[in-house]
Structures are given as C-alpha cells and as structure tokens.
Amino acid sequence: MNIKSKKGFALAFAIIFAIVLTASILGVWAYVAHLMRETKVVDVRSKRGYYAAMAGLRYARVLLRDPDGLVFDGYHNCLIEGDELGGDFFTDIDINPDDLTVTITEWHTGCGWPEGEYKIIATYSP
C-alpha cells in the first residue's frame, strides 16, 4: 500500500465520521426540543386549569354573598357551569368555558355540619 491511498482513506473516514456526528447531534437536539415543547404544553394546560378553577371558586364566593338567590337541587347542590361565568376571562386564557364546573353544596340538618355552611368544589377537565 502506498502513502497516497492511506491519506485518501483517512480523509474519507473523517468526512463520514463528521457526517455521522452531525446527524447524531441534530437528532438529539430535535428530540430534546420535542420534549421541551411537550413539557411546555402540559405546563400551560395545568396553569390554565388552575386559573379557571380559581376563577370558579372566586365566582362562587361572590354568589354566596346572597345564598338565597342560589337554586339548589334535591341533594343540596348548586351546579354552576363555566359558561355562566362569561366575560373575556376564558378568551384570555384560551380555554373552553364548558370545561369548568363549580359545585356549591349546602350543609343541612342531619349531615353532621352546622346548617348554613357551604362546600365549594371547582373542577376543570379539558
């Protein structure tokens, strides 16, 4: 073997190695970028759900300033759907108002709690 063929082999090997290394780096970079986008989407959804649920709880507190205006069913529950909240809030955080439900439960005689107290549950499920 002469020296010229060895130099050509080393050059070809270096080029192939550089191509494989570049492809590997790009693949890992794309995978990490994909994971970061997915994590961001999940994080954004949970934050939106949190703010929607907090808005529902605050709205229930406003309604409970005058509990006589609430309509309770036979099980002492008052169900408030998200679209009753209205306003630009749901547009601002980009969620569907139908995904939020607020339940106000009136404690009554015989349930073990003092009458006239309420339990509020806000549920956000996209």
pLDDT per position as a tens digit, 55-81:
778 888 888 888 777 777 877 788 777
Select from 122, 92, 117, 90 the least CA-distant residue to 106: 117
- Contacts with 68 (C-beta within 8 Å, 6 or more apart), sequence order: none
Q: In 54-79, which positions are buried (b, 16+ CB within 10 angstroms) versus exposed (e)?
A: ebbeebbeebeeeeeeeeeeeeeebe
Residue pLDDT, tens place only, 76-126: 788 777 666 665 667 767 777 777 788 888 876 666 666 678 888 888 877
User: Is the overall model pTM greater than 0.75, yes or no?
Assistant: no
pLDDT (tens digit per residue) in 19-50: 999 999 999 999 998 888 877 767 777 787 88
Strands (E), the chain: 77-81, 100-106, 118-124
